[in-house]
Structure 1
Amino acid sequence: MVKKISISKYISYLFLVSICVIWVVPVIFGITTSFRSQAEVVSAGFRLFPKEWDFNNYVAILENTSTAPILRWLSNSLIIAVSHTLLVVFIISLTGYGYTRLKFKGRDALFFTLLGISFFPGVVNLIPSYKIIEALGWVNTAWAMIIPGLAGMGNIFLVRQFMKGIPGELDESAKVDGASDFRIYYSIILPLVKPVLIVCGLFSFIGSWNDFLWPVIVYTDVEKMPITAGLLLLQDIYGNYRMIGQLMGSAILAIIPTLVLFIFAQKYFLQSINLNSGIKG
């Protein structure tokens, strides 16, 4: 029996290591490609690491502030993603509180109706969303990226489920002491749901940062583009194997902020896997 368990364990480890290699090798190759000279990039054969490490690609990327201002794009994406994330956290926490602690007619019916509508593919809403953005005069502005998607039902569902695990006696005790609904939300509920809010914020930041189709539609001004729309533009500037090292270097710079964010927030991500992890007693 022990032998069978050991064999199954080794098979599991082998499978996981294989999946890890399949995922990691292309990432390493992409990183090392950004440090290759153009001559080595176009040469035949596969080498995981370059013969000589060349930093000229990154120098050229940072010096190009006219046709490909990547630092400006990164700054635009950071402003958009941070603003979007902060608003998401505020809206979903307040909405989740309303769907769990406040009692009004049709509350659950409204919630599940909106949840069902959210299952429609997002591409269905592209044209109506663009028409709304155009009517508001938000084309080529950060508002076109910040406002849409603030009240995502997936995030609201997670917060609602988390809040349902908080004992209702806390609300009743606070009301006896004269606390208002907003006071209960701010002082009692909000601190308890911090883990799931951090995770929803993490997902929102990454989703906003990596959003590709929508910014390509709403942006035409190069200076105002976020990094994802800028990377599409770089395919025309650096593509066709002419400056593939610079294109790969730009992509590597684009993933650094989300990678750093995940490294610092991963403990909250793991904690939120159990939706009741922050509730004790």
Structure 2
Amino acid sequence: MLEVAHLVRRFGDNVAVSDVSFDVAPGVLTGFVGGNGAGKTTTMRMIMGVLAVHGGEVRWQGRPVTIEDRRSFGYMPEERGLYPKQPILEQLVYLARLRGSTASGAKRRGSELLERFDLAARAGDKLESLSLGNQQRVQIAAAVMSDPALLILDEPFSGLDPVAIDAMADLLREYAERGVPVLFSSHQLDLVERLCDALVILAAGRVVAKGSVPELAGGRTRYRLVLGGSTAWLADFGGVRVLETNGSSALLELTGATTDKLLTEALARGSVYELAAVRQSVSEIYREVTA
């Protein structure tokens, strides 16, 4: 398990990260969400030892993280760090050998990953000859070349087309299924919702929410009611809180009424096309906790 405990980082008088704490458990895909300047990249760099920690601690397997531990971590930085004029497979092999892989094992692993990302035919090409999206795929391959014990990925889906996004998502799920803790940041909240088991939401350098989507939604169940006529009567219907309306459709919470009572009343007033439970989305949760 990765444990981030009360991390602090300053840049001059600016406190970029303030008392940030969260865990990334084995086999859990954890989404790291926040606006620009929220502190996500700074926190990831402290986890990896790229930036010094000014307060708090990073722990791995219940003890302070070491340089040797970090050598087993797969890291994809926000600023991509590959060599533009070096052949793709050659540099993947080089990077893997820095982490202790054999030349033959690294070449085999690199070839497998390039095949997976539809880049096998470009293995001998220089990185700079690839599109930005394909360079991103190579950067992802570099992060997982040595079968990492932990994955830290800063905006891994940025610049990827839908096919590459699906391939990347499958890869992350595979590592999670092996028991690897995975932490990744993304501004694409629909992807975070689709992939993640847990969320950590930052704002202004602080954790403002963390947990699973159901936990962050507070256990509240929302309902969408679609009628054949107006929803105006809901405002005076006891035991219901109307969150929003759009013509004949309403999003609401039950504060005392039952679904049976609501449906009976709605049918008495006309046609009912839908009454369905709606889970609060990550986007909605994000807007609520960062408002």
Shared topology, TM-score over 0.5?
Answer: no
TM-score (norm 2): 0.24
Task: Output the TM-score relative to the length of structure 1.
Answer: 0.24
Which protein has greater RCO, CA pairs closer than 8 Å, 6+ apart? 1
Normalized per residue, the structure richer in helix is 1
